[in-house]
Structure 1
Amino acid sequence: MLTTEQKLLSAASHLAVFVSLPIIIPLVILLISKDGYVKTQAMEALGFHIILLIAATISGILVIILIGIPLLIAVGLVALIFPIIAAIKVFNDEDYSYPISGKFIRKSI
């Protein structure tokens, strides 16, 4: 059973994308927290947000040749949906791993 503090810190790291600090908030939580679960969730969120930033940058560049427009829309939808799912799972006491970056991040921990 997760404590309220664990749930809030983990959800904050996942939902940081909605307050325009998608890399800073998970990084601060990762560095400050002493709890293993919170650190894992912050690392997952940090990795996911970095991948989103890279994908959005590449899509933004590809807008020049028009293929970037649907890619940018897809990245936006992924950035909207997956953090909400992660926060809901965390509040339901489930360990969440992003389908895009989760396996890579978990192996590096």
Structure 2
Amino acid sequence: MITTEQKLLSALCHGGVFLAAPILIPLVIMLISTDDYVKTQAKEALMFQILLIVAGAVSGILVILLVGLIGLVVVGIAAVIMPIVAIVNVANGNDYSYPISGKWARGL
């Protein structure tokens, strides 16, 4: 059974993007927490945010070729929608994994 504290810490990790600290919050929670569920969710959020930053940088460079505009739109939409989906899932007590970065985060 997942406790309320675990749910709140996990939701905070995924919601760090809305608090202007998308890498700092999951990193601090991952280093401080002793709970495996919270650490896993912090890794998931951290890997997803790093992936978004890399994808945004690549898309930003590709804007020169006009291909990057589509990439920036996709990255922007994913940066808003995916963390909301993750917050709802962990608030309901589900073990959420992001579609792309989840496999890498679980492998660490």
Question: How would you bin the TM-score normalised by the shorter chain?
Answer: over 0.9
CA deviation after TM superposition for structure 1 residue 85, in Å: 0.4
Deviation string 1:19-63 (CA, Å, 9 cap, x unpaired) is: 221100000000111111000000010001000000001111111
Q: CA deviation at 1:3?
A: 1.1
- Code of the residue aligned with 1:8 in structure 2: it is L
- 1:2 alignment partner in structure 2: 2
Deviation at 1:76, TM superposition (A): 0.5
Q: Provide the rounded CA distance (Å) in 1 between the counterparts of 2:64 and 2:8.
A: 40
Percent of counterpart pairs with the same letter? 60
Q: List gaps (5 residues or longer) in structure 2.
A: none
Runs of 4+ in structure 1 deviating by more than 2 angstroms, as ranges, are: none
* Equivalent position of 2:107 in the other structure: 107
TM-score by length of 2: 0.97
Which residue of the partner structure matches residue 45 of structure 1? 45
2:57 aligned residue: 57
Q: What is residue 25 of structure 1 aligned with on the other side?
A: 25
Distance 1:34 1:104 in 2: 21
Query: 1:97 maps to what in 2?
Result: 97
Size of the aligned set, in residue pairs, is 108
Q: Secondary structure at the match of 1:96?
A: coil
